[in-house]
Amino acid sequence: MTSQTVRRLAITPGEPAGIGPDLCIQIAQQSHPHELVAVCDPDLLRLRAEQLQLPLSIELFDPAAAPGPSLARTLKVLPVPLAATARAGQLDTRNAAYVLQTLEIATRGCQQGLFDALVTAPVHKGVINDAGVPFSGHTELLEQLTGSDKVVMMLATEGLRVALATTHLSLRDVADAITAPLLEQVLQVLQHDLIHSFGIADPHILVAGLNPHAGEGGHLGREEIDIIEPALERLRAQGMHLSGPLPADTLFNEKYLSQADAVLAMYHDQGLPVLKYKGFGNAVNITLGMPIIRTSVDHGTALDLAGSGTAGCGSLKAAIDCAALMASHRHLTPEDS
């Protein structure tokens, strides 16, 4: 297969009261070389398109048909009914189960080979929890649905990929979470997916230290000496191309980044502020370590913008393009998909 093969991508619009439906409608205004299938309530899209005053023709998805490019002002939909009519900007706990159902259906479709990848618009964690369903996020749910051993969060924008050793932890808990087994597992997942989902034959990964100045030789913390460097040495012995641990305050400059394929940050706010400064609104959130491909936007539900037509769809477009590219690389090595 070549990168020109048409890929079939499932898109979940996320929270129906947020900007996810708006972004799907905006994306559908232009043609796309891959087939985009929204997994949602078609009436939600019809009503929101009317509110946005944008033309939209909805076609019910036929799984038996061969995938084809998406036409302008047209969107294929795999129907999933809302529990209650959604109003832009107004959360409704009655629709929490619907949001989860769209994710489960889309994920199952990817697992069965019906879709080549999953692209997710933002969900609202609060309203799902308010509905009585414990929910910590897309990533954790997809990890559970796919039975994955270890998933890794990576954000990417033009010229920069940043993966995270830890994600949503308080700073007080980060140091205890940084262990050699964790780092080795995360780096192995990152290495595997850079090769098999991005087509990078021999990835060069920069690894940030945990402490200021990467510990200053032990004077500002010993995690680099006792944990990070020994883990990197073991992985280097296996053939991995790793640089670090490097001070995070100097790591993100052209001297290092021009020679690297990805950065591993030790915690959320060590790496993501840099990436979002560089590419917010056009960055992609990617879940590594799963048997399916999943990309997402780099922003939230933006309830205040829903239905206004002012939400930018750059990140969703980037997520769609990234998912299609990853699917093309993954299909070149089907035994790893």
Instruction: Tell me the pLDDT tens digit for each residue of 273-292.
Output: 999 999 988 999 999 999 99
What pLDDT, on a 0 to 100 scale, did the predictor assign at position 168? 85
The residues that bridge with 164 in the sheet, in sequence order, are: 265
What pLDDT, on a 0 to 100 scale, did the predictor assign at position 2? 36
330 labeled binding residue: no
What pLDDT, on a 0 to 100 scale, did the predictor assign at position 137? 86
250 labeled binding residue: no
Q: Give the residue from 204, 207, 162, 148 showing the smallest Cα distance to 183.
A: 207
276 labeled binding residue: yes
Q: Which residues make up the CATH 3.40.718.10 domain(s) of the chain?
A: 1-148+290-336, 149-289
196 labeled binding residue: no
Span 38-45, average pLDDT: 98
pLDDT over threshold 90, residue 332? no
3-state secondary structure 56-68: CEEEECCCCCCCC
Residue ranges with strand state E in the chain: 8-12, 35-40, 57-60, 74-79, 117-120, 152-157, 160-164, 204-208, 241-246, 262-265, 284-288, 294-296
Q: Does domain 1-148+290-336 have CATH number 3.40.50.300?
A: no
What pLDDT, on a 0 to 100 scale, did the predictor assign at position 335? 47
Contact 261, 205 (CB under 8 A): yes
What pLDDT, on a 0 to 100 scale, did the predictor assign at position 307? 97
pLDDT over threshold 60, residue 336? no
Predicted structure pTM score: 0.93
pLDDT over threshold 50, residue 3? no
- How far from 32 is each of 5, 35, 75, CA to CA, in Å? 13, 7, 10
Q: What would you report as the CA-atom Rg of the chain, rounded to the nearest whole angstrom?
A: 20
What pLDDT, on a 0 to 100 scale, did the predictor assign at position 78? 98
What pLDDT, on a 0 to 100 scale, did the predictor assign at position 4? 63
What pLDDT, on a 0 to 100 scale, did the predictor assign at position 148? 96
Span 155-161, average pLDDT: 96
Instruction: Tell me the pLDDT tens digit for each residue of 120-142.
Output: 999 999 999 999 999 988 988 99
> At residue 209, what are phi and psi to the nearest 5 degrees?
-75, 170
- How far from 80 is each of 18, 137, 243, CA to CA, in Å? 17, 20, 47
pLDDT over threshold 60, residue 1? no
Instruction: Tell me the pLDDT tens digit for each residue of 181-215.
Output: 999 999 999 999 999 999 999 999 999 999 999 99
| Rounded Cα–Cα distance for residues 245 and 165 (Å) | 13
Instruction: Tell me the pLDDT tens digit for each residue of 225-258.
Output: 999 999 999 999 999 999 999 999 999 999 999 9
What pLDDT, on a 0 to 100 scale, did the predictor assign at position 102? 98
User: Mean pLDDT for the chain?
Assistant: 95
268 labeled binding residue: yes
Instruction: Tell me the pLDDT tens digit for each residue of 67-123.
Output: 999 999 999 999 999 999 999 999 999 999 999 999 999 999 999 999 999 999 999
What pLDDT, on a 0 to 100 scale, did the predictor assign at position 337? 39
Span 39-52, average pLDDT: 98
241 labeled binding residue: no
Overall fold of domain 149-289: Isopropylmalate Dehydrogenase (3.40.718)
What pLDDT, on a 0 to 100 scale, did the predictor assign at position 333? 58
285 is written with which tokens? 């959130």
